[in-house]
Every structure is written in structure tokens, then in C-alpha cells.
């Protein structure tokens, strides 16, 4: 219960002035992160935990 009270008190207000100063969604960064994570997951599953070509 205390954590809900602290979260409510600590959250930022929903002023329209402050909302216009916030940066927008970073689509390029999100795409780069997704591609990097996919490449890492593929390297770890096909390379059997080491970076070597498959036999």
C-alpha cells in the first residue's frame, strides 16, 4: 500500500506544457535495438555458444 502512495506522489504531472518538451518515440533506435538483439540471439543459437561457422 505504501508503494502505491509513493508512486502516486512521485509521478510527473500531466501538464500540456511539459508534454510538448518531451522527445518523441525513437523509431530508428528501437529498430536498431531489435536488429541487434535478433542478431545476438541468432549467433548464440546457431553457433552453439561460440562464434564459429557451423560444420
pTM of the predicted protein model: 0.47
Other CB atoms within 10 A of residue 21 CB: 7
User: Among 12-16, 24-28, 30-34, 41-45, whose mean pLDDT is lowest?
Assistant: 12-16
- CA–CA distances in Å: residue 51 to residues 8, 23, 37, 39, 47: 47, 38, 16, 12, 6
Residue 19 has pLDDT above 60, yes or no: no
52: which DSSP letter? -
Please answer whether residues 54 and 47 qualify as being in contact, where contact means their C-beta atoms are separated by less than 8 angstroms: yes
Amino acid at each position: 500500500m505504501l508503494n502505491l502512495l509513493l508512486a502516486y506522489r512521485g509521478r510527473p504531472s500531466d501538464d500540456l506544457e511539459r508534454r510538448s518538451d518531451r522527445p518523441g518515440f525513437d523509431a530508428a533506435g528501437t529498430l536498431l535495438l531489435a536488429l541487434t538483439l535478433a542478431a545476438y540471439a541468432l549467433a548464440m543459437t546457431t553457433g552453439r555458444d561460440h562464434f564459429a561457422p557451423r560444420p
